[in-house]
Amino acid sequence: MRKIPAPSVNPENKPFFDAAGNGKLLLKFCNSCKRFHHYPRSLCPHCFSDKTEWREAKGTGTVYTYSVLKAVQDPYCIAYVTLEEGVTVLSNIVDCDFDRLNVGMKVKAVFKPSEGGAPVPMFAPA
């Protein structure tokens, strides 16, 4: 099993990782332009408003693209996943046969422990 390094937690992303510890996926939402964004930050990257808040995401989406790294001791998959909220996130696909992965596959958020830190959101087939 591949060891997952602990994420670097700072004041802007702490609520994200605190929620992950409770099995919830949070996204930032801008109350000015009404759009979600990720990676967590206080200013909206779409309109630069500071009127952002945390909202719980459904945690489901589809694989936009992926790459399986097989030339390592513990093969793993990195992927861009487009969430139902419209945000595309970079993550890992886990708990599946990599030969069965495909673009457009439905996935759901799962939370994997890291080495001495907060759990990390990843995705598994839905």
Q: Distance between CA atoms of 28 and 41, rounded to whole angstroms?
A: 7
- Decide if 66 contacts 79 (C-beta within 8 A): yes
Q: Could you give the C-alpha distances from 108 to 45, 54, 60, 66, 94, in angstroms and in order? A: 25, 19, 4, 15, 10
Show the domains of the chain with their CATH numbers: 14-125 (2.40.50.840)
Q: Which token pair is 126?
A: 């839905």
- Look at residue 117 in the predicted model and tell me its pLDDT: 86
Residues of the chain with pLDDT under 70: none
Look up the pTM and report it. Answer: 0.92
- Look at residue 89 in the predicted model and tell me its pLDDT: 97
